Amino acid sequence: MTSNNDDLEEALQKNLKLRRELGAEVAKARASDSNAKRIADVHATPHNRPPKLTSAEARQATGPRAMLWVLIGSVSLAVIAGLALVVYVDRPTSSGRGSYPRRLRSSG
């Protein structure tokens, strides 16, 4: 029974040693990977940097709701421009009449 316990203890000690070695290797790999990323970011130019948004993320605001608001805004601006044009054309002149030339006004 003691030999079985000794074998188990030896296996556990070996496992613990392997885990420590593996942890040290992982830490070293992470450190070198973060250093490599840091160096790559320093030497990256705007042309070779990865984009901040993916194309799918950039298209998020092009759904039906956004398109509806663009349509409503465009129609509203067209109505405002039309009203401004009507007010400008129909404003009275110094003679108190509309701004249309005499020949275009109906007689009466």
Query: Domain ranges in the chain?
Result: 1-51, 63-99
Check if the beta carbon of residue 98 is closer than 8 Å to that of residue 90.
Answer: yes
Res 97: pLDDT: 56
pTM to 2 decimal places? 0.33
Q: How crowded is residue 43: how many other Cβ atoms within 10 Å of its Cβ?
A: 8
Cα(47)–Cα(34) distance, rounded to whole angstroms? 22
pLDDT by residue (tens digit) across 6-37? 888 889 899 989 999 988 888 888 887 776 66
Question: Dmax over Cα atoms in the chain, in whole Å?
Answer: 127
Cα(85)–Cα(104) distance, rounded to whole angstroms? 18
pLDDT by residue (tens digit) across 43-99? 656 666 666 777 777 766 667 788 888 999 999 999 999 999 988 887 766 655 555
The helix (run of H) or strand (run of E) holding residue 11 is helix 2-43
Cα(59)–Cα(47) distance, rounded to whole angstroms? 21
Check if the beta carbon of residue 59 is closer than 8 Å to that of residue 65.
Answer: no
